[in-house]
Structure formats: C-alpha cells, structure tokens
Structure 1
Amino acid sequence: MGRSISRAFVGIKNKVRLKLQGWKGNMFSQGGREILLKAVALAIPSYAMSYFKIPTKLCSEITKESLFHKAYAVRYFSDGNLLIASLGGNPSYAWRGIWEAKNLLVQGGRWNVGDGSLIHILNDAWIPGFQNLRQELGDEQSMEQLCQLDNQVLSLIDPGTKWWDLAKVKALFNPNVVDVVIRLHPNHTGAID
C-alpha cells in the first residue's frame, strides 16, 4: 500500500462520483434515489473493503458527495448537523427510521472533542461519566462565569496552545470533573467535533 493509504483509494472515490454523475438522480422518486445509492454506489467499494480498512476520511467524503446525503441534508438538516436534526413535517419512511436511530445514538453516545465548536458545555454529553454537568459546577460563581463564556466547549480551549484553558476549566467545574476534562485531548489540528 505504501505511505499514503488515502491515495491508494482515490480510484474508489472517483468511480463512485462517476457512477452517480452518470445517473439522472432528479428523475427518480425518493425511493428510487435510495435504491440507486445503496445498490450501485455502495457496491463499488465493497471489494476493496473486504480486504482493506477504508480510511475514515474517504468514507466521509463518499457519503457527503452522495445523492442520499445531499437530498436528506437539504430537507432535514440544512445546518449540516444530523445530531440536532428534527423529524420535520411529513417525513419519509426512511428519514423516520434514521431519525429514530439517531435519537438512540444521541442518548447512548458522547461527543469526541475536536475543536469544541459544535459541543455545548452543559447541554451535550462530552465528559465521560458525567451526563448532567449542571450538577457538577464548582459553585455559584461558576454559573456566572459560564454566562461570560461562549457556552461552547471551544471557549474552554486556549486558541494559542489548542489545549484546555486550565484557569477557565478549574473555575467552572468541581475537581472531579476537572481531572476528567484534562485527560481529554482536544484535536490540535483544528478538526471539528
């Protein structure tokens, strides 16, 4: 495979793109577009996936370029965030299933801190072992300090070092939470959450 695994799989991405561009997706019904994507576009990388682990970045790129993602993003999560998407009015059968599964994921999942821009400090689960952070605030001053912050985890990360601003974290949370937070590693490359 060599040094660049991503370059080795560029052909798969190009084949998927060419196959999807060759079809007139707007001529199909909602169900037809779903079948097209599942049957044709997802079959292309199957052989390679049976032998190699496809890079996560490539899977993400193929998904975002797909007709399925574009159609659902426009109709149901135009802000780009599937995790906060609503059911919407008159949802398709497929979207209703995705939305229900998404809710299960949100209930049992936890955010992985990247740049902190998508994670709300108190409303999202991002610290292992702590689901209700309002109970874990250090003292009355913490709530006042929280109001001064952006309310996103990004506001707890020092922009220069791309590491936790320990003064803010210690001022906001009790020592048990602080110990867990400083063990989390924000993504220093600026990757999103």
Structure 2
Amino acid sequence: MGTYLGLPEKICGSKRQVFAFIRDRLNNRINSWTAKFLTKGGKEILIKSIAQALPTYVMSCFLLPQDILNKLKSAIAKFWWSTKENNKRLHWMAWDKICKPDEKGGLGFRDLKNFNLALLAKKLWRLLHHPTSLLARVMKGRYYRHTNPLEISSSNNPSYGLKSMLAAKDLLKKGLRHTIGSGYNTRVWFDQWIPTQPPTLAKDNRAWRDPKLYVNHLIDHSTGEWRMDLIQNICDPCEIPLIQSIRPSRSIKADGFCWIHTKSGLYTVKSGYEIATL
C-alpha cells in the first residue's frame, strides 16, 4: 500500500495497522531525545512544537483509532516524566489534568482525541460553508444529494473520510446556527436558527405545528419584514423578540451557517477544541 502526501492511499482492514506509522514515527522522534539532557521547560517546548504536531495533518483528515491515540499519549507522557537516569519514572499526575489550560492548573498540552475532533469539525464546516467547492460537490453527489452532511443518517458504503468527519458532527452542532437569508432552506421547528447561547430550535405556543413549515413562510418578501401576525399565532411569546432581532433578506439570498463561539462567525480549530474540552 502506497502513500500520497504522507497519507495511506487506501484505508481498509485494520485501522490500527493502517495508522501504526504515526506511532512509529513519534516513537523514533522521542527516542532520539531521551539520550539528551533536557529540562522540563525544554521538554515542554519539544512536546508542544514537535511531538503533538506530528500527527496533526493525519488527524485533520481521518479519525485515529482510540488505541493509536492511547499509544501516542503514553509515549508523550513517558517522555515527560522520564529522566536521563531512569526512563520509567513514576507519573505523579494524571495526563488528563496536565492537558488542562494553564489557568486551570495544567500545562496546556493537547488532548489528542478532542484535538482530532476539532480538526475534523473544520472539514465538516467547510462542506457547509463552501458548498460549491470540489470536495463539497463530490460528497453531496455521492452521499447527501437532498440534504446536508449534518443530517446524514445512513449512507451506502461511506468512505472512512466521511465517517471521520461525521464523528465531529456533535461537536460542530454545539455552536452552529442557521443564518437567515431568504428562509427557504431553514425549517422552523427542526433547525437551530434562534439566536440564543447556545442556538436553539423555535418553540411553539402548544398549538398544532406544521412539520413542513419553513422560515420563508414567516417572511413578507415584498417588504422584507416578518409576518408578525403569523409568528404570534404559532410561536412562544418569549421567542418573538429573538426572531425580531434577525433581519431577513428581501433578495433570494441562500441561508447559511455561523459559528457562535467566534466574533467572525467562522469556525476555528482553537474554538472547537475549547468547546470539546469543556
């Protein structure tokens, strides 16, 4: 099996064997350091800048098996606690606590599992935010022709790349909100479009609700204003001020998505990792 840009050309069989090269690469790099005399500060720099950066490219494309992640974490932890005289020194603190941010009593090392999910959520975000890109058009034509990647329930023979991105779906949903343009692509009762922290679904006033109702039905497109009479009849009164704070578009502007945890509304791996570690 060959490689392309440092990744296996074919992902099949045992995923532990496919991605074992990452573990071997990290062990070879760490073994070249153990013979040197390093302070704790020097080890911290090597771990953050090199050891934890080695698998980043692979983790941005695929979900690594938990067994591989555990071995990577074990190798890094062993290097951190070892000394020149004794490479099997006692680990005085759980690695999960060391991975906490500095302000919470840790050293800011990355939790590889959460970082893997944050990187994959970036891929999923690109499918949503750039639907005309080549990758998005290929994925849509193959796996979700009439919906979006967040709503894939089953797929015919999905690739491991798609499975990896879908593993980060729950993380992305924690900060994802529909932005209203024309309202034609956003369902009133089933999509998170109400601007709260975190985003929520619209609440009804306990009356019968149409499952096929879209936000465009609540907009008077001739004036670009909300149809307040209809909204007051079907929505919870507490929702009305929140809906009024949204400015719909008079033009046929497609609905989109925004990430509520950044000022720009764009997803970043840093913000995704912070949410994953909460």
Question: What is the TM-score normalised by the length of structure 1?
Answer: 0.57
Cα contact 1:120–1:152 (8 A) shared by 2: yes
Match of 2:200 among 122, 131, 134: 131
For residue 109 of structure 1, report the CA deviation from its aligned partner.
1.4
Q: Distance in 2 between matches of 1:152 and 1:169?
A: 12
1:64 aligns with 2:132: yes
Q: Deviations over 1:6-58 (max 9, x none)?
A: xxxxxxxxxxxxxxxxxxxxxxx788xxxxxx9xxxxxxxxxxxxxxxxxxxx
Cα contact 1:114–1:186 (8 A) shared by 2: yes
Cα contact 1:114–1:192 (8 A) shared by 2: yes
Cα contact 1:111–1:119 (8 A) shared by 2: yes
Matched pairs, number: 131
For residue 119 of structure 1, report the CA deviation from its aligned partner.
1.1
Q: Counterpart in 1 of 2:241?
A: 179
Q: Distance in 2 between matches of 1:78 and 1:92?
A: 16
Match of 1:104 among 171, 179, 189: 171
Q: Distance in 1 between matches of 2:175 and 2:167?
A: 13
- 3-state SS in 2 of match to 1:73: helix
Q: Counterpart in 2 of 1:11?
A: none
For residue 154 of structure 1, report the CA deviation from its aligned partner.
1.0
Unaligned runs of 5+ in 1: 1-28, 32-37, 39-58
Unaligned runs of 5+ in 2: 1-8, 12-60, 62-128, 256-278
Q: Counterpart in 1 of 2:43?
A: none
Sort the Cα spacing of 1:94 and 1:170 in 2 relative to 1 into closer, same or farther, 3 A: same
More divergent stretch after superposition (151-160 vs 122-131): 122-131
Q: Counterpart in 2 of 1:122?
A: 189
Sort the Cα spacing of 1:65 and 1:173 in 2 relative to 1 into closer, same or farther, 3 A: closer
Q: Counterpart in 1 of 2:57?
A: none
Cα contact 1:87–1:99 (8 A) shared by 2: no
For residue 179 of structure 1, report the CA deviation from its aligned partner.
0.9
Sort the Cα spacing of 1:123 and 1:109 in 2 relative to 1 into closer, same or farther, 3 A: same
**Structure having the higher Rg:** 2
Q: Counterpart in 2 of 1:17?
A: none
Cα contact 2:194–2:201 (8 A) shared by 1: no
Q: Distance in 1 between matches of 2:251 and 2:151?
A: 25
For residue 150 of structure 1, report the CA deviation from its aligned partner.
4.8
Q: Provide the aligned C-alpha RMSD in A.
A: 3.0
Sort the Cα spacing of 1:139 and 1:81 in 2 relative to 1 into closer, same or farther, 3 A: closer
More divergent stretch after superposition (71-80 vs 153-162): 71-80
For residue 99 of structure 1, report the CA deviation from its aligned partner.
1.7
- 3-state SS in 2 of match to 1:110: strand
Q: Percent identity?
A: 23
Q: Deviations over 1:112-138 (max 9, x none)?
A: 1111111111111111236253xx323
Q: Counterpart in 1 of 2:231?
A: 169
Q: Which runs of 4+ in 1 moved over 3 A?
A: none
Cα contact 2:181–2:253 (8 A) shared by 1: yes
For residue 80 of structure 1, report the CA deviation from its aligned partner.
5.5
Q: Distance in 1 between matches of 2:136 and 2:179?
A: 22
Cα contact 2:143–2:156 (8 A) shared by 1: no
Sort the Cα spacing of 1:108 and 1:87 in 2 relative to 1 into closer, same or farther, 3 A: farther
Structure number having the greater helix percentage: 1
Sort the Cα spacing of 1:89 and 1:182 in 2 relative to 1 into closer, same or farther, 3 A: same
- 3-state SS in 2 of match to 1:180: helix
- 3-state SS in 1 of match to 2:132: helix
Amino acid at match of 1:118: N
- 3-state SS in 2 of match to 1:111: strand
Question: What is the TM-score normalised by the length of structure 2?
Answer: 0.41
